[in-house]
Structure 1
Amino acid sequence: MTEMVNITIDGVPVEVAKGTLLIRAAERIGVRIPRFCDHPLLGPSANCRQCLVEVAMPDREGNVRPMPKPQPSCAMTATEGMEISTQATSAVAAKAQAGTMEFLLINHPLDCPICDKAGECPLQNQALELMGTGGQSVTRFTDVKRTFPKPLRLTSNVLLDRDRCILCQRCVRFADQIAGDPFIALQGRGGGHPAADGHSGGLYSEQIGRFDSTVLDFLDPDAPSAPEAQPIRGAHGLTPAEGLVGPSGDPGAADGLAPGPIDPGRGDLDVSGRPFASYFSGNIIQICPVGALTSARYRFRARPVDLVSTPSVTEHDASGSAIRVDMRRGTVLRRLAGDDPEVNEEWITDKDRFAFAWATAPDRLTTPLVRDEAGELVPTSWSDALDVAARGLARAADDGGVGLLPGARLTLEDACAWSRFARTVLGTNDIDQRVRDHSAEEDTFLAARVAGTGLSAVTYTSLETAGQVLLVGLEPEDECGSLFLRLRKGVRAGGVRVASLTSVLTPGQAKMSAESILVVPGEEARAVALLSQTHPALVEALKADGATILVGERAAAVPGLLTTIDTLATATGARLAWVPRRAGERGGIEAGALPFLLPGGRPVADATAREQVAAAWGIPATGENARPLPEAPGRDTTAILTALTDGALGGLVIGGVDLRDFPDPGLARAALAASAFTVQLEVRRSEASEHADVVLPVAPPVEKNGTFVNWEGRVRPFGQAHVSRTRTDRQVLGMLAAEMGADLGVDSLETLHDELAGLGLWAGARPAVTFSEAPAAQPAAGPLTPSSSPSGLSAVLATHKPMLDAGRLQDGEAFLAATALRPVARLGADLAARLGVVGGQTVEVSTDTGAIRLPAVIGGVGDGVVWLPECSAGSTVRQSLGAHHGSPVRVSLPISGATGPSGSAAQPNTSTAEVIR
């Protein structure tokens, strides 16, 4: 039980938990003490001294005695009998706070009219507040203010105006305590000023920055140094923006950046050639209490008074993170983290924060397109497009049927419309949202463990005290950023121990202090089955109350892994949760956007389940107008593509998918080319559009309201931020159904939600998780073989997508793209030794389909293994190699004289990724 103590604040008795910070205790009675460095999710530091209060404490004899000087309330904890006087009742505290404010403003520039933070700036607000309560309204400082050349580009996204910084260290503490990425630090001492040449013999003023040779004295120009310690100048490939200057007056995008204490062979550089910062760096902009840290995209674009803000939910992953969309004159200018203690607290990834330009890219679809007699897509009216689509789908339905591939980026409501359109209009269960690895084994796992389970016992909050957490087929930092931050928080607090069954060691595992169990790709199922022998302590820890197993969607690529995980969870009693990558994946499962499931997790093959769904949809079960739902489970994604290629299906309805994401992109392209009639619902024109007969534009998340369901099973509704005439998938399918003579019944969101609530979750029998010897996700072309290069070495491929990749939802954001990790090939030490490869040297990974060339990084994978980033610039593994996780490949040094995609000679030591097809 928590020990409680009695204290007095401004004469008001308060009972709080022992150890509560005084600044929090004051909030309990409605007293807000001014602060800058304090943040509820960061550890106390008492840097800014703005929260000074008078404190009196009982001595050993019990006599309450005042402390000799004011104390920082953000770092002092409550003890029995303490008496606190804040600025509301103490002239001493008020004077101390006013004095602190005066010192902070001495060197602070008077640029509020042009500062991005103006209007939402704590420094501005509290300065005005203190002036109104007797504070200093006119500065007594008569000398010249300290200035710095600005802005300093910390990353491609984050710019620093050092003369505005008040050294609160919120950004430094976030990087250290929350993200675990020490990309920014407080360096130097005192208030000195560097000389005009940027160097003053090591006597530098205290300031925030990162390894910058001419500002923070990281590099002594007079001392001998290794080549890798020299500043990188111009390696980023970015065009310096006008007005952005570095510390010595040169363009800020190119000057003064040294790699810092890293080994270039390790590969921890970003695409711009700088030391990798963080996937979460944008949070320091939001928590900065002044305008010192600004966004490269938002800088000088608007003021808070100009913006219309709408709460929303991220569309980039299955985290369900709360965000805020800020618009001006119909244009999204920025996105901020929302405050949701149950989910993402106050943090979001850089992808959530900055990747929003994709929805307004030049290839945005605004009018329907129909293929004319010459074979060209031409704009047309909605009535004409719907007429052509309806007639074409009717013919296709009669000629073998129609398959549906909606993709997993849909809202719950849109997924419901796709599911209902398939069953009631086209009369088929051939619908599958999975544009990724899948299998018959995964079908049983989703039906047994995921679909129709609602909000699970495994939540963000439960993970903080879970004890033991085992990750399988999941890299949270890359695949679900908010989940990574919550796990790391639990680890730092001592409530969580993380173990990761993985084929590659990652920085995220190190930041979680994870016990990494390194396995050969494809052998994960065997490794899980042997855990009781190889890691008995881990298995024993999984038997403890609250212990959790988190399995990622990538587990479907390894035959037998999901079955083995299910067996382990059952045997140990550990909680089990499945974490997909895409925002609409879990909602699509609940809506029945799968060939074997109906809404609410109901099995297609169960007569009672079909009757319940038919009743909810208002479909007569008997009589002349009866339209029974199809009984047999439909084709999955691979089977749909194969049937289209073979001519067994007459047509296709496809949603927002990227052909590069399919288990076999070649099969997907062949299927689209062979489809007799294809209708596409998409936000932007894509590769699939080139094969479509009718293209119907639909709204992106910012232009509609709806609901995502996150990995927990938590319902995450969001509002429409941008007023738009663009129709949603639900509305377009409703119009198409009407054109085909059916009422889809999804026009009203209220009615749709009532139907879902009335239908509820499946309470009937669930299947056992079973392993199939013939996974449906295997490429149709058969087993892969490594290329026959005589100089190559056989290896096993490991791969997964990093958070920042070449995905279409990151298009149009060059600042963000430059912060992605540089694509590298991680080689087992044995392969590197046999090839004579050193870190940074280019290697070629190949199959008979093609080859990928990347700089090598030695280690981090097992012997005989090579890891490549999936769907990254220069490393589209499925497309270029025709390979998947666990495939055999060959690793070699590039042949002299070989050429890259542009025809130029391949450079054996280049740091630029090249793809050979």
Structure 2
Amino acid sequence: MTATTDRSAGGAAAPVETVTFTLDELEVTVPKGTLVIRAAEQVGIQIPRFCDHPLLEPAGACRQCLVEVATPDREGNLRPMPKPQASCTLEATPGMVVKTQRTSPVADKAQHGVMELLLMNHPLDCPVCDKGGECPLQNQAMTNGRATSRFVDVKRTFPKPIAVSTEILLDRERCVLCQRCTRFSEEIAGDAFIALQERGARQQIGRFDEGVLDFAPPPCAGHAEGADGHADPVAATDAVRSGDVPAELPAGSATSSTTGTPFASYFSGNTVQICPVGALTGAAYRFRARPFDLVSTPGVSEHDSSGSAIRVDHRRGVVLRRLAGEDPLVNEEWITDKDRFAFTWQSAPDRITTPLVRDRGADGTRGELRPASWVEALELAAEGLVAARAAGGVGVLPGGRLTVEDAFAWSRFARAVLGTDDVDMRARVHSEQEVAFLARAVAGTGVGVTFSDLEKAPAVLLAGLEAEEEGGVVFLRLRKAVRKNRVRVLGLAPFATRGLRRLDGTLLPAAPGTETDWLGAVAASATGGRLPAGVDAAAVAAAAEALAQPGAVLLVGERLAGTPGAYGAALRLAEATGARLAWVPRRAGERGGVEAGLLPGVLPGGRPLTDPVARAEVAAAWGVDVTTLPAEPGRDATGILRALEAGELGGALVGGLELADLPDPALARRALAAAGFVVSLEVRASEATALADVVLPVAPPVERSGSYWSWEGRVRAFPQALESSSMPDHRVLHALAAQLGADLGAAEPLAAHLAVAALPAWGGERVAPPPAAATSSARVEPGTAVLASWHLLLDDGALQDGEQFLAGTAKRPVARLSPATAAAVGAADGDTVTVSTDRGAITVPLQVTAMVDHVVWLPLASRGCRVHDTLGASPGDVVRLAVAGPVASGAAGAPAGARPGTGTEEAR
């Protein structure tokens, strides 16, 4: 055994023990603990395997990787092991001699025998199997199997397929019991949605079968049943499509765990990709194509800010499936089901393929949108924007899903062509304090906290961020960190979500609006300051101690924008503890929008708009006179909409904007209806396009090249997958700018990309940090509660349209109340409750949860539960509660004037 030096961690020298052994007559030196199968890969020797996967724990389940092994005894004499060993579970030791199938007839015969056993009951349906053409079993049967079969009996069969979920189907007779799927579900995702059942000859992989596990829950309303009497998600999906089941219900049922609780997994599609045979298939792709018919193009997911690598497989101009790309630094080999399956929105029937213009009558009345040529549409758009600029100015709302190239083109068009700073890409809850935080701590900071840092951190605090729902891959990397490195995760939230529990996380119970108090208390504890009255001193001290460790990380989400002082408190906490701070938005384009300056008062790179030097740098890079740039900060998204409604702005330029996502959708509808002139850049028809005067179609991600700026600070480039005549935003804006007599410098993708790097890093003064002081918390009266809410990963978003199989795995919308709060309004678990405001009401089932008192949680934008649109409310607002189902008698009301808390009057 020898020692080498590892300098991978910041250049620090660390001795690494190594072992030397013989592999197929080659002397190989590897780090101690290396598996023989990994050592073979390093020297170019391929050992066949099915169960082995580098990101899963060794299992030795399939036995295909058998090798002949001899080890030295105490006297140094080589002693052969009595039978071949599985190389995927065997660690290399000093002096070991290993012979693979290349040099050992024993190993070769053993592998032939295992392959023969696997093929005994495996169906010979390769021509119709979805795995045909990319199947390891096919390949290894040829290279490591017998030339002929000796099996003459009848093969075992099962009823097929089993619907593990509406999206994942299982053909049990194809399964080789490698256990990759069960190990992934238990180790990586933490979702036990598939299991190894029975023993011996009857052993098989399947969903948690109620008959096997002696558990028979009552059938759920709206769930179709299959021939076996169990809920059949595929049949349920068909029922939804035919109208037999109300559309507001999920399309299918989730399977049942050993505890009897229903659930579904956000990561189940990964099991299809790692299945080495055709046992697991995707319902949407099943029987649609063969791998050798497909053209594969690398890509980057457009669904969140993680920048996950994907592979787009398409045929004849149609995307048929998406797979996870391999990127060890970002998503490794995993993606969410949303990244994998939600791509049909890009080719939906309501796709806009030609410009649309609206004719106006002599009296100014609006006509219907009609198709037009690009020449006519651009001319009308330019004329309308010029008139709107003269009538008060143009508000620019580009949305948060832009590529980096598009974001910089939007920023330049707004400032240099329209001369306005009324620009905001945040189609969500937002605040002025958030602008200050982003300009100071995010924009222009480059690569900051990375996924690798999360894995190495001793502690991670999630503030205003639900990792599984809003981060996807962030959750998977945190779970890996918890399992491998015992990273401690703390969550600042009203209740411990299932995602936080699967991270073995510690809850810091905070009602909406009290996050500032919690962050300030932890900072005070870290610096020896005085703690506010009513806080849990022990929890605060433990959190401060955890974050004070070198390498600790504070992850903040976009939801903190709704809490006054929260971002300032987060900055103060990071300074007090030394923890590294990172901002994790939900949408893929938000970090790029911040870098491009799509915020009022902020120029690209975090430059303050009011700084003359900053404006001069930007003007020089854009090749315009500095006087053309606005000098005073403009309005945010809400201010723009109010100004449009009041007639203070003459028009609007919008793009990728879903009005229902805004904090006040009713205001947005009134504003665009009242606006003098509206130009919309969109992929599909929407409420915004229905109110626009000119609609300019733009290309979806699959039909253009570009890049996303991930929350880490990485620029994640992707090529164009499908040939298309559609133009990306930056080309459309360049053509529109040309009509206005300006050169945007974004006519081609390469030019638009190079324009991003034209601006040097900003070295001047930054925007002042936001204040850390909190305002008073909301006070609740009897029958009311403070609203808590966030987006679920699978909800009613526009980028999930058209994929009903995926919709069947979405969580059902429920309201959550603590036992005390539920009792105060006379509600019990399972009752139907109504959450209402003066604007509207949402009625959903109640799930009594251990959580903060005087708080009600609702999913923000699920089908049948659109909080902003229906209630006109945002998290932190007070809403009314009422029971719409069976009522428990003798319930006492909440004390008048109580503040939401954790069983006390104060919310801490």
TM normalised by structure 2 equals 0.89
Matching residue of 2:375? 383
Q: Structure 1 residue 43: deviation in Å?
A: 0.3
Q: Structure 1 residue 661: deviation in Å?
A: 1.1
- Percent identity, please: 58
Matching residue of 2:842? 852
SS in structure 1 of the partner of residue 147 of structure 2 = coil
- The one-letter code sitting in structure 1 at the alignment partner of 2:445 is T
* Partner deviation per Cα, 1:108-146 (whole Å, 9 max, x = no partner): 00000000000100000110112xxxx412211111000
Q: Structure 1 residue 219: deviation in Å?
A: 3.3
Instruction: Determine whether 1:468 maps to 2:459.
Output: yes
Does the CA contact (< 8 Å) of 1:149 and 1:248 recur in 2? no
- The one-letter code sitting in structure 1 at the alignment partner of 2:621 is A
Matching residue of 1:194? none
Does the CA contact (< 8 Å) of 1:553 and 1:580 recur in 2? yes
- Mapped partners of 1:519, 1:426: distance in 2: 43
Does the CA contact (< 8 Å) of 1:440 and 1:771 recur in 2? no
Farther-moved stretch of structure 1 (517-526 vs 157-166) = 517-526
1:299 aligns with one of 276, 286, 290: 286
2:877 aligns with one of 887, 894, 899: 887
Matching residue of 1:143? 153
- Mapped partners of 1:598, 1:727: distance in 2: 26
SS in structure 2 of the partner of residue 530 of structure 1 = helix
Does the CA contact (< 8 Å) of 2:666 and 2:869 recur in 1? yes
Does the CA contact (< 8 Å) of 2:730 and 2:752 recur in 1? no
Does the CA contact (< 8 Å) of 2:516 and 2:772 recur in 1? no
Instruction: Determine whether 1:11 maps to 2:25.
Output: yes
Q: Structure 1 residue 62: deviation in Å?
A: 2.0
- The one-letter code sitting in structure 2 at the alignment partner of 1:617 is W
Q: Structure 1 pair 68/658, CA: closer, same or farther in 2 (3 Å)? A: same
Q: Structure 1 residue 669: deviation in Å?
A: 1.3
Matching residue of 1:284? 271
Does the CA contact (< 8 Å) of 2:568 and 2:772 recur in 1? no
Matching residue of 2:829? 839
Q: Structure 1 residue 611: deviation in Å?
A: 1.3
Matching residue of 1:876? 866
* Partner deviation per Cα, 1:574-616 (whole Å, 9 max, x = no partner): 1000000000000111112112222222221111111111111
1:575 aligns with one of 577, 580, 591: 580
- The one-letter code sitting in structure 2 at the alignment partner of 1:208 is I
Matching residue of 2:679? 679
Does the CA contact (< 8 Å) of 1:370 and 1:380 recur in 2? yes
Matching residue of 1:183? 193
Matching residue of 2:223? 236
Q: Structure 1 pair 859/213, CA: closer, same or farther in 2 (3 Å)? A: closer
- Mapped partners of 2:230, 2:638: distance in 1: 57
- The one-letter code sitting in structure 2 at the alignment partner of 1:397 is R
Farther-moved stretch of structure 1 (711-720 vs 490-499) = 490-499
Q: Structure 1 residue 177: deviation in Å?
A: 0.3
Q: Structure 1 pair 119/813, CA: closer, same or farther in 2 (3 Å)? A: same
Does the CA contact (< 8 Å) of 1:502 and 1:519 recur in 2? yes
Matching residue of 2:182? 172
Matching residue of 2:419? 427
Q: Give structure 1 stretches of 5+ with no counterpart.
A: 192-204, 221-228, 256-267, 622-626, 898-917
* Partner deviation per Cα, 1:345-375 (whole Å, 9 max, x = no partner): 0000000000001111111101111112361
SS in structure 2 of the partner of residue 471 of structure 1 = strand
Alignment of 1:305-320 (within 5 A): 305-320=292-307
Q: Structure 1 residue 749: deviation in Å?
A: 3.0
Matching residue of 2:604? 599
Does the CA contact (< 8 Å) of 1:465 and 1:546 recur in 2? yes
Does the CA contact (< 8 Å) of 1:152 and 1:252 recur in 2? no
Does the CA contact (< 8 Å) of 2:827 and 2:886 recur in 1? no
Q: Structure 1 residue 454: deviation in Å?
A: 0.9
Q: Structure 1 residue 741: deviation in Å?
A: 1.6
Matching residue of 1:700? 700
Q: Structure 1 residue 761: deviation in Å?
A: 2.1
Does the CA contact (< 8 Å) of 1:235 and 1:273 recur in 2? no
- The one-letter code sitting in structure 2 at the alignment partner of 1:324 is R
- Mapped partners of 2:728, 2:390: distance in 1: 27
Q: Structure 1 residue 66: deviation in Å?
A: 0.9
Instruction: Determine whether 1:116 maps to 2:130.
Output: yes
Matching residue of 1:610? 615
Alignment of 1:723-802 (within 5 A): 723-771=723-771, 793-802=783-792
- The one-letter code sitting in structure 2 at the alignment partner of 1:799 is S
1:272 aligns with one of 245, 253, 263: 253
- Number of aligned pairs? 836
Instruction: Determine whether 1:521 maps to 2:502.
Output: no
Matching residue of 1:219? 214
* Partner deviation per Cα, 1:287-320 (whole Å, 9 max, x = no partner): 0000000000000000011101100000000010
- Mapped partners of 2:250, 2:104: distance in 1: 52
* Partner deviation per Cα, 1:170-215 (whole Å, 9 max, x = no partner): 0000000000001111010111xxxxxxxxxxxxx1111122235x
- Mapped partners of 2:455, 2:597: distance in 1: 32
Instruction: Determine whether 1:441 maps to 2:433.
Output: yes
- Mapped partners of 1:100, 1:631: distance in 2: 75
Q: Structure 1 residue 755: deviation in Å?
A: 3.3
- The one-letter code sitting in structure 2 at the alignment partner of 1:156 is T
Instruction: Determine whether 1:50 maps to 2:64.
Output: yes
SS in structure 2 of the partner of residue 652 of structure 1 = strand
- Mapped partners of 1:593, 1:278: distance in 2: 35
**Where has structure 1 moved over 4 Å in runs of 4 or more?**
245-252, 268-271, 772-775, 783-786
SS in structure 2 of the partner of residue 796 of structure 1 = strand
SS in structure 1 of the partner of residue 880 of structure 2 = strand
Alignment of 1:71-90 (within 5 A): 71-90=85-104
- Mapped partners of 2:313, 2:218: distance in 1: 37
Q: Structure 1 pair 719/289, CA: closer, same or farther in 2 (3 Å)? A: same
Q: Structure 1 residue 247: deviation in Å?
A: 4.8
Q: Structure 1 pair 310/40, CA: closer, same or farther in 2 (3 Å)? A: same
Does the CA contact (< 8 Å) of 2:516 and 2:774 recur in 1? no
- Mapped partners of 1:206, 1:465: distance in 2: 39
Farther-moved stretch of structure 1 (611-620 vs 363-372) = 611-620
- The one-letter code sitting in structure 1 at the alignment partner of 2:544 is V
- The one-letter code sitting in structure 2 at the alignment partner of 1:300 is F
Instruction: Determine whether 1:866 maps to 2:860.
Output: no
Instruction: Determine whether 1:327 maps to 2:308.
Output: no
Farther-moved stretch of structure 1 (340-349 vs 592-601) = 592-601
Q: Structure 1 residue 896: deviation in Å?
A: 9.9
Matching residue of 2:11? none
Q: Structure 1 residue 690: deviation in Å?
A: 1.7
Does the CA contact (< 8 Å) of 2:298 and 2:325 recur in 1? yes
Q: Structure 1 residue 156: deviation in Å?
A: 0.1
SS in structure 2 of the partner of residue 109 of structure 1 = coil
- The one-letter code sitting in structure 2 at the alignment partner of 1:597 is V
Matching residue of 2:344? 357
SS in structure 1 of the partner of residue 648 of structure 2 = coil
- The one-letter code sitting in structure 1 at the alignment partner of 2:481 is G
SS in structure 1 of the partner of residue 543 of structure 2 = helix
Alignment of 1:31-42 (within 5 A): 31-42=45-56
- Mapped partners of 2:477, 2:625: distance in 1: 48
Matching residue of 2:241? none
Alignment of 1:593-672 (within 5 A): 593-620=598-625, 627-672=627-672
Instruction: Determine whether 1:512 maps to 2:503.
Output: yes
Q: Give structure 2 stretches of 5+ with no counterpart.
A: 1-14, 237-248, 256-261, 361-365, 526-530, 532-536, 888-908
Does the CA contact (< 8 Å) of 1:468 and 1:547 recur in 2? yes
- The one-letter code sitting in structure 1 at the alignment partner of 2:402 is L
SS in structure 1 of the partner of residue 865 of structure 2 = coil
SS in structure 1 of the partner of residue 789 of structure 2 = strand
